[in-house]
A and B are shown apart, each in its own frame.
Chain A
């Protein structure tokens, strides 16, 4: 197994800043904005993005965490996981612009599951997807609206986003088994 580093901490930080700017720009400010992070790394990212947005605009948008494991199509593990405990959305999403934040987008299945979950939370005006790394090769007709980095890797490789909060370091790496 080999691991190579794609982006180091300062690049990750700049990318998160850019995501924050683009979200504000796409929404035309922070009005009616709600950010939802997909557990677990999306939940760390969403807080950093919210902090950046507060830095830019002076207003911090409401933040929530969603756990899509019960909504995923590969439900093998869902029985073990508590279904609702991990989803915490403190505000109503009705008529809001909801930005779903995750670390990596690949097949689109996680985002599809997130859309299902959000449709059970309420009826947002609009849903945007903000992603730190898009590795392409979608299996579903799902797009990321705001993308930090586009990377091209082989199907056998794995993109890992490591964040200070859970991994002690900000770093984006690629693992391959060759």
Chain B
């Protein structure tokens, strides 16, 4: 039987969390003669605290004793074994022979994950650096559920220090999983870290709603305060410059928003690297004004405690202040968790899913980019691993630390066997994935690092420019003019772009034609899923517009690059399923030849006869961040080709 750890809230499935809550329901009256009161009889729990704690440690020890077990404790690890220089791996190995479960708190992000890998018994994370605090989250969720009945559809405002508060990080993941709307109200400079937001978006398809005003008083005074919508992906930087249009949109939806709970946190002074002075005045506080505000009459106030001055004692006497109840639930919830982890119910669980894990060869990247990550200080207890994330819009390879979840980006990738490196680009994704599978991937922070390890750049570079901004503009103009000349019936013309880049080009062509003819044109978009192409016609965003009717229309189909012709065939198939257009003409920016189907474009911006081992990529400013329009060609590096020092041989021949 595999042992079960709780390092991250992600280690528990939704169903298991429900199961733990059911167990907690049975334990909440702390009945000493109930059946569960002996469920951990004879078992020993060891609490290893590298950081001071009162509530968490005592509630764990209380929980274990109420389950009939006993606790051994080292409340100050920092001054005992850590001070003697013992590695956390050794500590975990040794102590796991003294106890049946370890409860660990550590000041480094990811330290509990590292120790869990060396311990033979279940390990529970009682807080690791700024990373996670999953048992607190279980208590918080349980409290919220008890108070509000159902989690789904609630709106919770999370206030205070969202940057360093590990309780907050675990909590937002869990809230998103259970369908709770999260509104963030951060103190200045203490916003939710980007990696947390990205994880929310990537794994839970959720974006929290940050209050634009960071001052809770302003929220109280302006009941129609501004929020960003959850379906509008955003970056934190956006909050400071909300344009008027967005404000209009948002204030319209704000009045309907009802707050169910405020989750208040204290400033994590001990984790501040430099003092933040300006945050002081606007730090969100809950006090008298909150209590008087009608808008919040049903909003409960939670706090993981200890509090400093962000939560006024005036709230204590109000029925909405439930933080002492929340603290009291700590014991039954931890009882439920311990009995869950130590009994059979927890045995069948999928391991943490890291789909593509990168372990750099010796000397590549020596530590995670997070200064507080355990890999920095405990190289002997950790085995540097990163999850390779799906590429975003930037030209970087995104990695996530296995221990601390911290995300960082690298720009240089290398192929181990051929000892070559090149800048990463999304166009190289499939190749780099291949390298990763074969264990041939290495990543570098700098060119200097790559060259010190004996890596050479790919001889011809990974890309050649084929078209610059001006050429691209001229090509679109030329295509539009030809379309204009050859259109018989302007009223019937409709321009259909294949997403995503074809759709942007379609709009550009429509704009050119509009200039030419001084009238509006209809544009439509086709979305293709998967390589086989199960296309779908995208309906107009405005539901008042009629559905696309292509019957007897002159259709211009637009895509950025034509290669095999398979995409176009699938798009044609889709169009003909719905209608019989009068004609379909195909416009592409780049024809790179090597067709596999009898498809021929009518309008071509540029012919680029390219080799099989190359990829042509069109970059448009609508899609790329901080980039100009251009067309580049990439060389495909074939890792199986063992006889080559230069994996880009086909390209070099073409150039020489």
A residues whose Cβ falls under 8 Å from a Cβ of B: 73-74, 100, 111-113, 115-116, 119, 123, 125-129, 139-145
Contact A116 B596 (CB under 8 A): no
A-B contact count (CB 8 A): 50
Most buried by B among A74, A113, A140, A143: A140
List of A residues within 8 angstroms of B585 by Cβ: 141
User: B561-578 toward A: CB 8 Å interface, digit per residue (1/0)?
Assistant: 000000011001100100
CB distance B584 to A141 under 8 Å? yes
CB-defined A-B contacts under 8 Å, sample of 9 = A112-B572, A127-B598, A140-B583, A141-B557, A141-B568, A141-B572, A141-B585, A142-B600, A144-B598
List B contacts of A126 (CB < 8 A): 596-597
Among residues of B, the one whose C-beta sits closest to the C-beta of A111 is B598
Q: Does B586 contact A (CB under 8 A)?
A: yes
B580 close to chain A: CB less than 8 A:
yes
What's the Cα separation between A112 and B568 when bound, in Å? 11
8 A-B pairs closest in CB distance: A141-B586, A143-B600, A139-B583, A129-B598, A73-B580, A126-B596, A140-B584, A127-B597
**Chain A min CB distance to B581 (Å):** 8
A125 near B596 (CB under 8 angstroms)?
Answer: yes
Known: A115-B569, A116-B573. A127 touches B583 (CB 8 A): no
Looking at the assembled complex, report how far the CB atom of B488 sits from the nearest CB atom of chain A, in whole angstroms: 11
What chain B residues lie within 8 Å of A141 (beta carbons)?
Answer: 557, 568, 572, 584-586, 599-602
Contact, CB under 8 Å: B576 / A116: yes
Interface size classification for chain B: 20 to 34
Interface residue? B582 (CB, 8 A) = yes
Main secondary structure of the interface of B (DSSP, over half): mixed
Is B602 a contact of A112 with CB atoms below 8 Å?
Answer: no
- Does more than half of chain A's interface fall in helix, strand or loop, or is it mixed? mixed
Chain A residues in 8 Å Cβ range of B557: 141
Q: Which residues of B contact A119 (CB under 8 A)?
A: 569, 573
Cβ-defined partner of A127 (8 Å) among B572, B573, B596, B602: B596
A86 to B278, CA, bound (A): 80
Query: Do A73 and B582 form a contact, CB below 8 Å, given A115-B569, A143-B600, A144-B598?
Result: no
A73 to B586, CA, bound (A): 18
Supply 5 further A-B pairs (C-beta < 8 A) apart from A73-B580, A125-B596, A141-B584: A73-B576, A112-B572, A115-B572, A141-B601, A144-B598
* Distance in angstroms between the alpha carbons of A142 and B565 in the assembled complex: 10
> Which of chain B's residues has its CB closest to A125's CB?
B596
A103 vs chain B, min Cβ distance (A): 16
- The distance from the CB of A77 to the nearest CB of chain B, in whole angstroms, is 14
Chain B residues with CB below 8 A from A128, complex form = 598
Mask, B590-604, CB within 8 Å of A = 1, is 000000111111100
By beta carbon, the residue of chain B nearest A75 is B580
Which residues from chain B contact A125 at a C-beta distance below 8 Å?
596
Say whether B576 contacts A115, CB under 8 Å: no
A145 lies within 8 A of B598 (CB):
yes
CB of B556, distance to nearest CB on chain A (Å): 10
Residue contact B576 to A112, C-beta cutoff 8 Å: yes
Complex contacts, B601 vs chain A, CB 8 Å:
141
Q: Which B residues lie within 8 Å of A111 (CB)?
A: 598
User: Nearest chain B CB to A130's CB is how many angstroms away?
Assistant: 10
B562 nearest CB neighbor, chain A only: A141
